[in-house]
Structure 1
Amino acid sequence: MKGKVLKIKNNKSIIKVMKALASESRMKILETLNNKEMNLNKISEQLDMPASSVTVNVKKLEEAGLIETNYQPGDRGSQKLCRRTYDSLLLEFPGANMNFDMNLVEMSMPIGNYKDFAVQPTCGLASEEGYIGILDDEQSFLEPEHIYAQLLWFKQGHIKYRFPNNLPANTYVNELELSMEICSEAPHYNEDWPSDVTVWINDVEIGTWTSPGDFGEQRGKLNPEWWNNDQTQHGLLKMWTVNDDGAYIDGKQISKKTLSDLNISDSNFIDVKIGIKEEARNIGGINLFGHKFGNYEQDIILRFKYNHRE
């Protein structure tokens, strides 16, 4: 099973997703968005489908979490861009006890459980209940309550997480995946606010993604009631992948760094650093979302796909 996998075991979520998939038009839209981002007009042209139908079907897919959308400036005002969020679907029916041998190790890291940081304002943290510490004071990242953060942000610097190396004995990695909901950091929010976000694994730079903006026009689906509407609302779900051929972001190669460069088997942990390089062209900050903020019910996910040694 390759690419991003949507795992569902909640009854309501299963019904919502299956209803969204029960349409030939929506299935064609998902196929069209394979490894690419397109606006509504382009989808309409490619599928020879009325624009009104595309709009309705995209909304249903978005509500089911099968695609994500964001607005970017275009030649004639803003345009709505669509991206498929998952490549595979795994359903666990009520009462089932699934135990697939998928040669997959998956670890979830709460965004507040960082091991190191070096950040500059604007910066801050928020839990499900309220702000943590003082806004725009980097000392707040030292507060004991930082482990409960569900949203954190900073204008410059980095944050680092340490994952356990849970690779089974007598195996080797053939692919590493890292996914998170993330966007730029602007005062309040700004949908047109590019930021060059870089990821390092075991201190090896694997690639940079330019976030198009800090999204706040539509309220995040998971945000708590106390969070104000004039602030950042959600990010984009991004995936960095490294295998023997190179490093990728959402399937697009961005560097020639391979698994052998990461020295995964040499340590009992894996360090993941997320930040803005000092020499970055777009120093637009970072918002990082936990499973109770934004649009995606997940923290930072690290996956190993592995094979057994002979």
Structure 2
Amino acid sequence: MSEQNMQIDNGSENRRTRFVNVGQDNTDELVLVGKALGSPMRIQILEFLQDKSANVSEIAQGLGIPRATADLHVSVLADAGFLEFETLPAKRGVQKVCTRSHDIVVLHVPKAPSTELLDSVTTDMPIGNFVDYDFRAVESGGTCGMVGENSPIGMFDDIASFHEPDRVNAQVIWFSAGHLEYRFPFRSQGDRIPRSLTLTAELCSEAEGYHLDWPSDIFVEVNDVELGLWTSPADFGGTRGRLTPDWWSRHNTQFGLVPTWTTDTEGTTINGEKISNVGIDELNLGQHSFVKVRLGVRPDAKNCGGMNLFGERFGNAAQGIVLKLEF
């Protein structure tokens, strides 16, 4: 909509404001508005109707112009939406009374969308914004759950809780095996293609309570291509995480580590150490408007020790899942 009415407090008056967008998609309205306001006489008519209503004869008499001239100007103002008409009884039949539609007209010149090409794009995805999950191993007796900053979300060891509306506010998610899936936005940067992808998240294993010797092989997939495994050494606890709230028991998992997966033309590294030959070209980036990312632990992993994923308000790192693309 190019026109909007709102009430502005001006003492005892209620003044109506009209917003007109200046843009190529609104040329018809702009032409009418420009024509209506392009005549000194039509400006005088609007001023004449500032605090009253009047018919065409009264406008002509008040401004000292012929009635036919007044009628022409009134029609132009009405076509542009500056006047409203009301039919009222008169001594001889009915009369058409003119009222000013607006007291304030604002020309809004929108800022053109940026066409700047970026050298890198970084997205920090809240951990509760997963679009899918697979916890089939949990259904056979494993564990899973979520908590927010101030309280649990749903029930523990209850897969239905992962459909709770409040899941988007999750600050810790854990499961004994399976994966979570996320979709990060992908916007092309002209004809440039990504030359590297970096992903980080605060992660650790998942044991009962916590366990400082509990390895777990955590994988990352991008667009259905596995980048490589990172073996978490423990389910960290005993010392409260820097961001972990006081209500969360010290006997529970407290924090994780922040491994870094990097894929470029030379292959994939974790924390700078090469772990696979998977290159950036194999990830098929740019085929969709999103980048699909999965994090999890396979039920048949050598070290199937579960996974904890921390959000920006739990653990030690103030972040969710951070994906960076360099072009």
Structures share a fold, TM > 0.5? yes
Amino acid in structure 1 at the alignment position of 2:119: N
Matching residue within 163, 168, 174 for 1:142: 163
Shift in Å at residue 223 of structure 1?
Answer: 0.8
CA distance in 1, matches of 2:250, 2:219: 28
Structure 1 outlier segments of 4+, above 3 Å: none
Shift in Å at residue 217 of structure 1?
Answer: 2.1
CA distance in 2, matches of 1:142, 1:210: 29
Matching residue within 115, 124, 132 for 1:108: 124
> Which residue of 1 is the match for residue 106 of structure 2?
none
Alpha-carbon contact 1:167-1:304 (below 8 Å) kept = no
Alpha-carbon contact 2:118-2:189 (below 8 Å) kept = no
CA distance in 2, matches of 1:118, 1:275: 9
Shift in Å at residue 218 of structure 1?
Answer: 1.2
| Structure with greater strand percent | 1
Matching residue within 229, 251, 257 for 2:272: 251
> Which residue of 2 is the match for residue 192 of structure 1?
213
> Which residue of 2 is the match for residue 70 of structure 1?
none
SS of 1:272's partner is: strand
CA distance in 2, matches of 1:238, 1:288: 12
Greater RCO structure (CA 8 Å; 6+ sep): 1
> Which residue of 1 is the match for residue 21 of structure 2?
none
CA distance in 1, matches of 2:265, 2:288: 19
| Structure 2 unmatched ranges of 5 or more | 1-116
- Pairing 1:288–2:309 present: yes
CA distance in 1, matches of 2:188, 2:121: 7
Aligned-residue sequence identity (percent) comes to 44
| Structure 1 unmatched ranges of 5 or more | 1-100
Give the structure-2-normalised TM-score.
0.62
CA distance in 2, matches of 1:302, 1:133: 28
Alpha-carbon contact 1:126-1:132 (below 8 Å) kept = yes
Kindly report the root-mean-square deviation, in angstroms, between the aligned alpha carbons of the 2 structures. Answer: 1.4
Shift in Å at residue 139 of structure 1?
Answer: 1.3
> Which residue of 2 is the match for residue 178 of structure 1?
199
Shift in Å at residue 102 of structure 1?
Answer: 7.2
SS of 1:147's partner is: helix
Shift in Å at residue 181 of structure 1?
Answer: 0.3
How many equivalent pairs are there?
207
1:231-250 pair list within 5 angstroms: 231-250=252-271
Q: Which structure has the larger Rg over C-alpha atoms? A: 2
Alpha-carbon contact 1:174-1:243 (below 8 Å) kept = yes
Shift in Å at residue 138 of structure 1?
Answer: 1.3
Alpha-carbon contact 1:154-1:185 (below 8 Å) kept = yes
CA distance in 2, matches of 1:296, 1:166: 27
Greater Cα offset, 143-152 or 119-128: 119-128
1:1-40 pair list within 5 angstroms: none
> Which residue of 2 is the match for residue 162 of structure 1?
183
Amino acid in structure 2 at the alignment position of 1:156: A
Q: Deviations over 1:91-110 (max 9, x none)?
A: xxxxxxxxxx9711100100
Amino acid in structure 1 at the alignment position of 2:190: A
CA distance in 1, matches of 2:248, 2:284: 41
SS of 1:248's partner is: strand
Matching residue within 279, 288, 295 for 1:274: 295
> Which residue of 1 is the match for residue 60 of structure 2?
none
- Pairing 1:118–2:139 present: no
